[in-house]
């Protein structure tokens, strides 16, 4: 049966939304609809204040800020890891805020990729974010091996999703390490982390996940699932700001492992300033830090993470699914005759926090949307990602976005733009 939704229905959903008050926490621009929070989250007022507070601390305390004040910088990475751990279903000591996504992947692959005998290969997929593949190829080369031979990428049959059965089939006795995304960045397919971890461990393979597109939008149970390691950025759903510091998770069963890339902040806190040339690693995830924390880059998290504690990640996930389901229903209702195709999974349990539309004119349609005050995300060659974020987007915005798309297609206003991406898409 065809579902027909009205703007009044969208407004009713907003009235019933238990998370509606959190929208006031963020700087939402008037006459604009921001659906790109899966690339860069909006600034919250608390994150802004936290950054200003840390600047003031530097201004007032100078070097004393490393050990004094409300948030001593020397312990800040671990403190934020403790705050972030509930979003991951992790123990506080298993999480540390440090580095960047790719730096942390290099650290973790450098630690856990130990090719020997027949087990020399890394297993990944063909749809993951390019940076992960660059890092994995680098790690293989550092071991004196050829990435063309020792990196296995499970292929997609449709160009959008990965069959988990194919991933499991590829877990042969030649695989030493597996690195997969939790959510595919294009199609928003959510992989079954628990199942894939169990299958990897049956075969004696270490497995880790890139959580960039799932952290802050859905709950995880990394410790209970036995995931070996994970890494992620914080500037998407966690709203830490452009280039915000990354984070990583290491299961406690690996505590004591020598970090593959040791550095100053790999040290045990009590021994770090002994200044010896023999490293005494931290006894928790802190051992997998490398350099000095990016204090000013971590500051916004002090403001943004408490919002997630108050809202509740289960509530965020519930609303996120409702928003994307509503968006898909409206696409079917209003845009079915304009050549749009939904390429993300339709089932809630297989979908992350955005939807992925394909259209041959996607690049110019995205430009037309921006002209109309709507911020989407274009992915070459013909993808449009739309991410209504539970903490600051509304059902009425979803309705208005689809109506704007319909108007753009009916009036063909997209044709005044070139069908090509900008320097940054």
Question: Rounded to whole angstroms, how far apart are CA atoms 386 and 375?
Answer: 8
- Whether residue 306 is annotated as binding a ligand: the answer is no
For residue 172, say whether it is annotated as part of any ligand binding site: no
Other Cβ atoms less than 10 A from the Cβ of 92: the count is 16
Q: Tokens for 152? A: 């296995």
- Is 242 annotated to bind a ligand? Reply is no
On whether 381 is known to bind a ligand per the annotation, the reply is: no
> Counting beta carbons within 10 angstroms of the beta carbon of residue 259, is it exposed (0 to 12), middle (13 to 18) or buried (19 or more)?
buried
CB of 354 closer than 8 Å to CB of 38: yes
Asked if residue 197 lies in contact with residue 227, where contact means CB atoms within 8 angstroms, the answer is yes
353: helix, strand or coil = coil
Residue 339, CB-side half-sphere exposure with 13 Å CA sphere: 12
Spatial CB neighbours of 407, under 8 Å, sequence gap ≥ 6: 372, 413
A 10 A CB-CB count for 308 gives 22
Task: Check whether 394 is labelled as a binding-site residue.
Answer: no
User: Which strands sit side by side in the sheet containing 377-379, from one edge to the other?
Assistant: 341-342, 355-358, 383-386, 377-379
Cα separation, 57 vs 47, in Å, equals 15
Residue 101 marked ligand-binding:
yes
Specify whether the CB–CB gap between 248 and 88 falls below 8 A: no
129 annotated as a binding-site residue: yes
Q: Are 220 and 88 in contact (CB under 8 A)?
A: yes
> Could you give the CA distance from residue 84 to residue 95 in angstroms, rounded to a whole number?
7
Annotated binding-site residue? 146? no
Q: How far apart are CA 55 and CA 302, in angstroms?
A: 13
Q: Is 235 annotated as a binding residue?
A: yes
Known binding-site residues equal 101-102, 129-132, 210, 213, 235, 264, 292
Known binding-site residues for pyridoxal 5'-phosphate equal 101-102, 129-132, 210, 213, 235, 264, 292
């Amino acid at each position: 049966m065809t579902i027909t939704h009205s703007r009044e229905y969208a407004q009713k959903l907003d009235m019933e939304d238990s998370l509606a008050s959190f929208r006031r926490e963020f700087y939402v621009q008037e006459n604009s609809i921001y659906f790109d929070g899966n690339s860069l989250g909006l600034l919250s007022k608390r994150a802004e204040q936290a950054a200003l507070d840390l600047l003031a601390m530097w201004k007032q305390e100078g070097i004393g800020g490393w050990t004094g004040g409300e948030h001593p910088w020397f312990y800040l990475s671990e403190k934020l890891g403790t705050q972030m751990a509930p979003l991951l279903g992790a123990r506080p000591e298993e999480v540390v805020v440090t580095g960047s996504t790719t730096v942390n992947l290099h650290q973790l692959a450098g630690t856990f990729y130990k090719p020997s005998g027949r087990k020399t290969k890394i297993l990944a997929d063909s749809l993951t974010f390019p940076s992960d593949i660059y890092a994995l190829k680098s790690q293989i080369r550092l071991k004196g091996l050829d990435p063309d031979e020792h990196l296995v990428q499970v292929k997609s049959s449709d160009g959008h999703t990965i069959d988990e059965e194919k991933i499991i089939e590829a877990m042969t006795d030649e695989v030493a390490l597996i690195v997969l995304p939790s959510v595919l960045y294009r199609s928003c397919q959510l992989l079954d982390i628990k199942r894939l971890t169990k299958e990897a461990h049956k075969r004696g393979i270490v497995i880790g996940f890139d959580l960039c597109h799932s952290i802050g939008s859905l709950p995880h149970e990394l410790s209970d699932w036995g995931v070996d390691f994970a890494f992620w950025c914080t500037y998407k759903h966690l709203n830490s700001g452009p280039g915000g510091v990354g984070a990583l998770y290491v299961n406690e069963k690996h505590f004591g492992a020598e970090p593959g890339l040791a550095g100053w902040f790999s040290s045990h806190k009590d021994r770090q300033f002994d200044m010896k040339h023999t490293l005494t690693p931290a006894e928790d995830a802190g051992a997998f830090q490398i350099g000095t924390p990016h204090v000013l880059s971590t500051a916004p998290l002090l403001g943004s993470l408490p919002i997630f504690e108050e809202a509740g990640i289960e509530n965020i996930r519930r609303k996120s699914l409702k928003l994307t389901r509503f968006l898909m229903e409206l696409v079917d209702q209003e845009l079915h005759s304009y050549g749009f195709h939904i390429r993300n999974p339709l089932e809630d349990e297989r979908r992350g926090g955005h939807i992925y539309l394909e259209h041959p004119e996607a690049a110019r349609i995205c430009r037309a949307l921006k002209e109309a005050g709507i911020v989407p995300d274009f992915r070459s060659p013909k993808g449009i990602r739309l991410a209504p974020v539970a903490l600051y987007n509304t059902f009425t915005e979803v309705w208005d976005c689809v109506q704007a798309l319909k108007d753009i297609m009916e009036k063909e206003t997209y044709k005044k733009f070139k069908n090509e991406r900008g320097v940054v898409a």
